[in-house]
């Protein structure tokens, strides 16, 4: 690893001015992929920071458990099943990140005899951690930033079948001390440092923030889509002669962020409308996961949803209205009759007070009344937060709830106004949530 060390470290950790990565931030990232004792299909996060890797892995893990597995009880798993599903999930993310099959896949693991199980002393080559032993996130107390990077080994495999075998053989490494970092480095080297630099908007911004220890949007996008782009909109955009990269195809699992409800960004439909009904939810500081088993939430766009999306594309500031001068363009984009006389008639109907604006609600009611979204009146949903301290009684468990996804009518039920709901409203503006617990789940 020595010749790659500097490039990898600069990309992941930046060049901290104080001369090194803070010991407390590095320590927070030294955990492995550990399953909750209370929820067999949920990964636990011990401290803030590594959710940028753990939440995407959790989202893909849930996708595989909910939609690829035979068993009806998706919340129960034996240790052998956990091993199979976790390795299959890590494999899938590595395959997605691989820029070209000809370059192969990189796996970063401990150099022989250097695995930090039990103590910092080099272990005998044949030593395996006991099967029953629960890997401890902070086990290797003596393993600091420098020591960790001095005992890494990189191996390359050239085929998907070989990759599967290797990932499975490294199960204890993924679960043990620093497993999250070993996997992150494997993804980065599989993708290629140069490829990541070409996709990141600001190459000076490291993947892990050196002050707070949080993962960047580029890191989340790399794990979710295989591309380390910095933005969440669809496609590329030009800005002052600069090309800004976005998301280029529909993702398998989605991403929604509270930052959109605060108008800091707008997530495009490739992330908002994924192939499977699983969304990573972003707050200012943390990532959690919202999901359901009901595929209707990711069904094809209904005419009303298409109309809402097109209308909003002419309303980039999300005001809920457009200037009446744009009405003809919106109607054309939706293949509605757009003869000038008819457009003027619609204007007078939708703007009777001649305010010069067209509101979204009346526009949808005019052209798409009684449209059925295809979503049932209510459906069971779940929320996952891997941080122990963010869960009731510090037990990492899914919070169950019922979602009411309404049209644009005034809802009969008004539920909480929590960050989780505000985040989900960026996709379903009229969603209501009834949680089975006394308190709503936490985004942080």
Q: Are 327 and 338 in contact (CB under 8 A)?
A: no
- Classified as helix, coil or strand, 114 is coil
Does the annotation count 286 as an active-site position?
yes
* β-strand pairing of 254-257 with 278-282: parallel
Domain CATH for 311: 1.10.238.10
Residues 181 and 105 in one domain: yes
Say if residue 34's pLDDT is above 90: yes
Residues 308 and 185 in one domain: no
pLDDT of residue 169: 95
On whether residue 241 sits in a domain, the answer given is: no
Q: 16: pLDDT confidence band, cut at 50, 70 and 90?
A: low
Query: Of 287, 320, 263, nearest to 420 (Cα)?
Result: 287
Residues 185 and 316 in one domain: no
Q: Is 289 left (phi over 0), alpha (psi -120 to 50) or beta?
A: beta
pLDDT digits (tens, 9 = 90+) for 326-358: 999 999 999 999 899 999 999 999 999 999 999
Residues 146 and 34 in one domain: yes
Highest mean pLDDT among 121-130, 197-206, 226-235, 283-292: 283-292
What distance in Å separates the CA atoms of residue 141 and residue 219, rounded to the nearest whole number?
27
Burial class (CB in 10 A: 0-12, 13-18, 19+), 359: middle
On whether residue 418 sits in a domain, the answer given is: yes
On whether residue 161 sits in a domain, the answer given is: yes
Between the alpha carbon of residue 173 and those of residues 84, 136, 159, 224, the distances in Å are 14, 12, 21, 22
Q: From the candidates 117, 245, 286, 383, give the one annotated as an active-site residue.
A: 286
Q: Is 298 left (phi over 0), alpha (psi -120 to 50) or beta?
A: alpha
What is the count of structural domains for the chain?
3
Residues 156 and 51 in one domain: yes
Highest mean pLDDT among 232-246, 285-299, 427-441: 285-299
Which residue bears the tokens 């490039």? 7
pLDDT digits (tens, 9 = 90+) for 83-103: 999 999 999 999 999 988 788
Does the annotation count 227 as an active-site position?
no
Paired tokens of 9: 């470290």
Residues 185 and 326 in one domain: no
The domain boundary residue, chosen from 133, 165, 199: 199
Between the alpha carbon of residue 331 and those of residues 39, 339, 437, the distances in Å are 49, 10, 45
CB neighbours of residue 93 within 10 Å: 21
β-pair partners for 256? 281
Mean pLDDT score across all residues of the chain? 86
pLDDT digits (tens, 9 = 90+) for 162-178: 999 999 999 999 999 99
pLDDT of residue 131: 40
Out of 110-119, 412-421, 426-435, pick the least confident. Answer: 110-119
- DSSP annotation of 182: H
Q: 119: pLDDT confidence band, cut at 50, 70 and 90?
A: very low
Q: Are 251 and 271 in contact (CB under 8 A)?
A: yes
Q: Rounded to two decimals, what is the model's pTM?
A: 0.83
Residues 310 and 410 in one domain: no
Residues 48 and 183 in one domain: yes
pLDDT of residue 215: 94
Write out the residue range of the structural domain in which residue 3 sits: 1-115+142-199
pLDDT of residue 120: 39
On whether residue 413 sits in a domain, the answer given is: yes
- Classified as helix, coil or strand, 359 is strand
Between the alpha carbon of residue 418 and those of residues 94, 117, 162, 283, the distances in Å are 35, 42, 46, 12
CA 337 to chain centre: 40
Q: From the candidates 51, 87, 98, 177, give the one annotated as an active-site residue.
A: 51
> 265-293: string of b/e by CB count within 10 Å (b at 16+)?
ebbbbbbbbbebbbbbbbbeebbbbbbbb
On whether residue 401 sits in a domain, the answer given is: yes
On whether residue 132 sits in a domain, the answer given is: no
pLDDT digits (tens, 9 = 90+) for 36-64: 999 999 999 999 999 999 999 999 999 99
On whether residue 224 sits in a domain, the answer given is: no
CB neighbours of residue 161 within 10 Å: 9
Phi, psi for residue 181 in degrees, rounded to 5: -70, -40
On whether residue 193 sits in a domain, the answer given is: yes
The domain boundary residue, chosen from 368, 399, 416: 368
Residues 3 and 151 in one domain: yes
- Classified as helix, coil or strand, 80 is helix
% pLDDT > 90, the chain = 54
In DSSP notation, 256-299 reads EEHHHHTTS----HHHHS-SSSEEEEE-SS-EEEEE-S-GGGGS
Residues 361 and 419 in one domain: no
Residues 12 and 104 in one domain: yes
The domain boundary residue, chosen from 368, 388, 406: 368
Residues 176 and 57 in one domain: yes
């Amino acid at each position: 690893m020595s010749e790659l060390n500097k490039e990898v470290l600069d990309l992941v950790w930046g060049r901290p001015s104080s001369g090194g990565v803070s010991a407390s931030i590095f320590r927070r990232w030294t955990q492995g992929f550990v399953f909750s004792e209370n929820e067999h299909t949920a990964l636990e996060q011990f401290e803030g920071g590594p959710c940028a890797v753990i939440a995407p892995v959790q989202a893909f893990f849930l996708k595989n458990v909910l939609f690829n597995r035979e068993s009806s009880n998706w919340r129960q798993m034996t240790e052998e099943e956990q091993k199979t599903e976790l390795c299959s999930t890590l494999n899938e993310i590595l395959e997605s990140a691989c820029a070209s099959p000809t370059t192969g896949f990189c796996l970063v693991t401990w150099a022989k005899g250097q695995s930090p199980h039990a103590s910092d002393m080099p272990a005998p080559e044949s030593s395996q951690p006991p099967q029953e032993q629960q890997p401890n996130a902070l086990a290797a107390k003596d393993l600091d930033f420098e020591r960790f990077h001095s005992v890494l080994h990189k191996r390359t495999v050239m085929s998907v079948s070989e990759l599967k075998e290797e990932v499975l053989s490294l199960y204890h490494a993924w679960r043990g001390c620093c497993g999250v970092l070993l996997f992150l480095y494997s993804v980065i080297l599989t993708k290629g440092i140069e490829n990541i630099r070409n996709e990141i908007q600001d190459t000076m911004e490291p993947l892990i923030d050196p002050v707070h220890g949080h993962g960047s949007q580029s890191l989340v996008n790399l794990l979710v889509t295989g591309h380390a782009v910095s933005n969440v909109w669809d496609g590329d955009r030009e800005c002052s002669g600069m090309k800004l990269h976005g998301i280029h195809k529909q993702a398998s699992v989605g991403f929604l962020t509270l930052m959109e409800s605060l108008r800091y960004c707008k997530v495009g439909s490739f992330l908002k409308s994924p192939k499977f009904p699983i969304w990573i939810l972003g707050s200012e500081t943390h990532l959690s996961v919202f999901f359901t088993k009901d595929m209707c939430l990711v069904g094809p766009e209904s005419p009303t949803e298409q109309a809402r999306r097109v209308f909003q594309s002419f309303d980039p500031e999300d005001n809920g209205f457009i200037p009446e001068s744009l009405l003809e363009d919106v109607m054309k984009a939706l293949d509605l009759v757009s003869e000038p006389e008819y457009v003027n008639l619609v204007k007078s109907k939708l703007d009777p007070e001649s305010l010069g604006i067209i509101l979204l609600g009346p526009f949808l009611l005019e052209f798409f009344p009684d449209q059925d979204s295809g979503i049932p009146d209510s459906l069971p949903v779940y929320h996952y937060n891997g941080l122990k301290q963010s869960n009731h009684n510090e037990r990492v468990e899914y919070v169950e709830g019922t979602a009411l996804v309404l049209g644009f009518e005034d809802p009969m039920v008004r539920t909480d106004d929590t960050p989780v709901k505000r985040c989900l409203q960026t996709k379903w503006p009229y969603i209501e949530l009834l949680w089975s617990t006394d308190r709503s789940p936490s985004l942080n």
